[in-house]
Amino acid sequence: MTNTTETEVEEEDILFPLYLVVIFGIIISLCVFFGFVGNLLTILAYIRDKQLHSVYNAFLLNLAITDILLSTISMPFYAVYTLETYTWPFGYHFCKVYMIIDFTLCLESVLMMMVISIDRLLLLKFGPHYSLKVTMKKACTQIGVSWVLAFLLYGPAIIGWDIWTGENIVEEEDCDVQFAYDKAFTTATAFIEFGIPFCCIVIVNGLIYNEIRKRSKVGVNPSKPSNHNNSKPKREVKAVRFLAALVVVFFVTWVPYTITTIIIAFCEECVNENLYEIFNWVLWSKAAMNPFLYAYNSTRFRKNFSEMIPCFKSFGVSKVKEEHSVTPNAVAVTTNTDDIKPNTSTVTPNINTVTPSISTVTPSISTVNA
């Protein structure tokens, strides 16, 4: 009788008021909708436009595939679990399959963000030799290796943890990983999944910004001021804001989840379950943000978006085209990321000379906004 009463009290404690169910339902629906639509548009744009078939855009395609799977698999099933007051109705075995998919997709998304940042730095460093050193074949290999690594970090543990330890700590109606309370494993994987990639992204984007500053100084002739040169500080500020946004969004979406996961491993009662679930959804919301952070910053992608969905024309595609038509300059810093095809043509020594080849010799700084 006492056990039944305690169970009823516990169930009452976690039941959501109707207004919270409605609010959560709306927020979850928006995450799923924008995650699905944004990434689907990115995938369709890549398929329909052969000019988007570059190494960098192949990474964007893989990121979009990862995020659309998060939006169609991870989010909907977990939405049911959340709104059912943390009751998993799909069974033990499907829970394991679901966890493998979810953990692999989340880590793959992180790895791709890291690869994309490194790719932009290589473009600036290699210059005209970029297309020779970074080929589509190598890019596909990197993508394949990243998927293998994403699976290996969590997959085997999710599959066999209860077999190795000889006990099942997850309740029948719950869906969680068996290693959730293992301090060493949780801390180590958090460092690998978040710590290393975050440090890498911060360092690489810092190096990209330094490269922007160096090229900006080289590309401006103080004796010949122009409207284009005078706009350099604004372009630099725009580039800094964009690079900072990539770092900040990654930090904000991942830190709450990572910290609470580690705390739970050491002290399960120290974290409110509802708060932890909110942090889960904050993390997944990154899948809905990525199309706007990456693909939408490409004029070419936006052009395709506007052709597929006319309402995108109201978001400034024509304006971007006008800005992009300004006299080419080796130090231009915009948010354009498309058509990155460095070649090995000879450079005219005078950097202020306007020639069609100058933008291809020194890769446009706009390409860093990935």
Nearest C-alpha neighbor of 277 from the set 130, 105, 84, 98: 84
Q: How far is CA 219 from CA 35, 66, 224, 329, 357, in A?
A: 39, 38, 11, 7, 15
> In this structure, what DSSP letter does residue 309 have?
S
Q: Which token pair is 64?
A: 């979009």
For position 295, what pLDDT does the model report? 81
Query: Which listed CATH number (1.20.1070.10, 3.40.190.10, 3.30.70.3340, 1.10.3470.10) goes with 14-321+329-344+351-368?
Result: 1.20.1070.10
pLDDT in tens, 112-161: 999 999 999 999 888 889 988 999 999 999 999 999 999 999 999 999 99
Using alpha carbons only, give the angle 57, 61, 62 rounded to the nearest 5 degrees: 120
pLDDT > 90 in the chain, percent: 48
Place 328 in a pLDDT band, splitting at 50, 70 and 90: very low
pTM exceeds 0.85, yes or no: no
What does the mean pLDDT of the chain come to? 79
Q: Sign (positive/negative) of CA torsion 323, 329, 331, 337? A: positive
For position 240, what pLDDT does the model report? 73
Distance in angstroms (rounded) separating the CA atoms of residues 98 and 159: 11
Minimum mean pLDDT range among 267-276, 284-293, 354-363: 354-363
Q: How far is CA 321 from CA 41, 112, 212, 238, 325, in A?
A: 20, 28, 22, 17, 6
Minimum mean pLDDT range among 27-36, 180-189, 292-301, 324-333: 324-333
pLDDT at 105 > cutoff 60? yes
For position 241, what pLDDT does the model report? 78
Higher pLDDT, 259 or 1: 259
Minimum mean pLDDT range among 35-39, 261-265, 285-289, 340-344: 340-344
pLDDT in tens, 206-253: 999 888 888 777 655 545 555 555 555 566 667 777 888 889 999 999
For position 273, what pLDDT does the model report? 85
Mean pLDDT of 57-84: 93
For position 231, what pLDDT does the model report? 55
Mean pLDDT of 68-94: 91
